[in-house]
Structure 1
Amino acid sequence: MNNWISALAELQTQGEACVLVTIIEERGSTPRNAGSKMVVSAERIYDTIGGGHLEYKAMAIAREMLDSGSQQTRLERFSLGASLGQCCGGVNVLLFEPMGQPHAQIAVFGAGHVGRALVPLLASLPCRVRWIDSRDAEFPAQLPEGVTKIVNEEVVDEVDNLPAGSYCIVMTHNHQLDLELTAAILKRGDFTWFGLIGSKTKRAKFEHRLRDRGFDPALVQRMRCPMGLAEVKGKLPIEIAVSVAAEVIATYNACFGMESGEQGSSAEPVAKLLPVSRRSQAQ
């Protein structure tokens, strides 16, 4: 059976979610050792915490956490005895730590200067990134781990392929394309967060055009433009990228404080709490 350390490293490299289970306390006449660990993935168990019914129960809890996408560390106390098929009394306390579960599925539309500065930052976070553009030559030769390059002449079509609850970032080279992407994202309406690069003037123009297309003003208000945190100032691509990444982090930290199934519904109040950037964003 694989050592839990090497198994954890391998699963994290592959981007596969898992749960690390640790015995942090044991009392009574049991053969288990505090500090014993095992790693539970969707398909396998690596290492052992001593086998038996306790390990079976721990596996079931870990798989339940994986199925729900839980990011919360969890403590469970087990009183040993008949309920766990033990002949002797005692107590085990187990720690369950989710590992490798992405906090956010992010779609970045645009491989220009800001996109090339932003995507490596997002890739270093617990996120999965779809990087989308019609121009293959704009992408760097090497992509960070966790980033999928998508080249499609019909960029707007990719909106339909996004997972529900995605974080959408629009920063293409073309204002009309930005508008069409914005309309498609708002039409779906199931995003967790949506940011559009640009100034307050650009936002006003887009709001007018979207209103003419019949979009609900309340829905349009969920669009972050300018996007990013006002406290992170600057017009250099890396400065804008840091600002946008900071807002993404603030949003997913707030969302994952709630149950996983509530991500989409929590996005609007999170956006309202964040300050609107006072700077214009360079294209």
Structure 2
Amino acid sequence: MGFDLETLREAVKTHGRVIRVVIAGIKGSSPREVGAAMLVWQDGQSGTIGGGTLEFQAAEAARIQTAQSRLTHHALGPDMGQCCGGAVSLLSEVYDRNNINDLGDSIIARPTSGQNMPLSVKRLLTEARGQGIAPEAQLIEGWMVESVHKPARALWVWGAGHVGRALVDVLSPLPDLAITWVDTGSKRFPETVPNGVTAVPAAKPAELVRHAPRDAEHLVLTYSHNLDLELCNRLLSHDFRFAGLIGSATKWARFRSRLAALGHSPERISRITCPIGDPGLGKHPQMIAVGVASQLLRPIGQNNLKKDLSA
């Protein structure tokens, strides 16, 4: 996952004082992995470290925490009556408007109790930066090291209607997606756009296709068949990792003919997946969103995704 710096900054901007609680170490079985974190403020929280009782007690302790940084250790079975037989170490750190800008933008390394940086940490940071790699979250000789999270996948959602809104609601909490959301005007979007989503009103959305990364993924579901067609045309002339179009088999048959008339080969046109979603779930926007999200996130590769959706 990595250190979600943008979410932390937004939380501090909104709530002022925020405590980030991260799993710094694990022995045996644990409900979450090292690096899993939650943010806690006076009357709320976000994220999860898992574990039910562990999370509840950690959040309550964070709200009354006075130390800037605190490392605690918890035996999940004996101390909390949980089924996990392991133990976890939690690092709880206070952030506010005075220190949020002190964090790095690629790797965040800091002591848990004020000790000088040990040689092992210096070597790790030198190697990571020299090789351009992101080190795993870990606690080393009293220092916590985490890489700043960078979304790995660019997803462009074309259309802010009922299905587009449902899709963004389902997908926006996922950490590895950087979502660009496009429609023809600002009034097409909800009043509140989820954190991490870039809403782009554009009178001519298809003109934006050339600005999308060539390895981006696209979901085309606007209110207009003509706009859908133009977006498909522009995408085929651009490039993409995946492109899915909402619609029926009849719509797709017509689109294939029209795209062929625009000069695209059958092989090229077949890169677009239509219809999308799981028909067995029904046509309710949230059901469509769940089906599309499930298939979009399968780790079996885009070719298998396309086969599943077009079957």
- Give the TM-score of the pair, scaled to structure 1: 0.66
> What code does the residue aligned with 1:136 have?
S
Deviation at 1:74, TM superposition (A): 8.7
User: Per the alignment, do residues 193 and 156 of structure 1 end up closer, same or farther by CA in structure 2, a change over 3 Å counting?
Assistant: same
Task: Please say if residues 3 and 146 of structure 2, whose CA atoms lie closer than 8 Å, have aligned partners that are also in contact.
Answer: no
- Give the TM-score of the pair, scaled to structure 2: 0.61
Deviation at 1:220, TM superposition (A): 1.4
Gaps of 5+ in 2: 11-21, 28-88, 92-102
User: Per the alignment, do residues 228 and 61 of structure 1 end up closer, same or farther by CA in structure 2, a change over 3 Å counting?
Assistant: farther
Q: How many residues align?
A: 225
Determine the C-alpha separation between the residues in 1 that align with 2:235 and 2:206. 9
Deviations 1:54-73 (A, max 9, x none): 212211344468x56x7x95
User: Per the alignment, do residues 8 and 209 of structure 1 end up closer, same or farther by CA in structure 2, a change over 3 Å counting?
Assistant: closer
> What code does the residue aligned with 1:139 have?
F
> What code does the residue aligned with 2:161 have?
G
RMSD over equivalenced CA pairs, Å = 3.7
Deviation at 1:196, TM superposition (A): 0.4
> What code does the residue aligned with 1:130 have?
T
Gaps of 5+ in 1: 1-6, 26-34, 79-91, 255-265, 278-283
Which residue of the other structure, out of 13, 38, 63, is the alignment partner of 2:8?
A: 13
Correspondence for 2:295: 247
Determine the C-alpha separation between the residues in 1 that align with 2:288 and 2:277. 7
> What code does the residue aligned with 1:105 have?
A
User: Per the alignment, do residues 61 and 271 of structure 1 end up closer, same or farther by CA in structure 2, a change over 3 Å counting?
Assistant: farther
Correspondence for 2:305: 271
Which residue of the other structure, out of 185, 202, 210, is the alignment partner of 2:259?
A: 210
Task: Please say if residues 278 and 292 of structure 2, whose CA atoms lie closer than 8 Å, have aligned partners that are also in contact.
Answer: yes
Deviations 1:129-163 (A, max 9, x none): 11101122121111110111101111101111112
> What code does the residue aligned with 2:126 have?
A
> What code does the residue aligned with 1:59 have?
L
Deviations 1:226-274 (A, max 9, x none): 01245x5211111111111112211xx34xxxxxxxxxxx63x233442
Correspondence for 1:85: none
Correspondence for 2:212: 162
Deviation at 1:204, TM superposition (A): 0.9
User: Per the alignment, do residues 274 and 61 of structure 1 end up closer, same or farther by CA in structure 2, a change over 3 Å counting?
Assistant: farther
Higher relative contact order (CA 8 A, sep 6+): 1
- 1:196 paired with 2:241, answer no
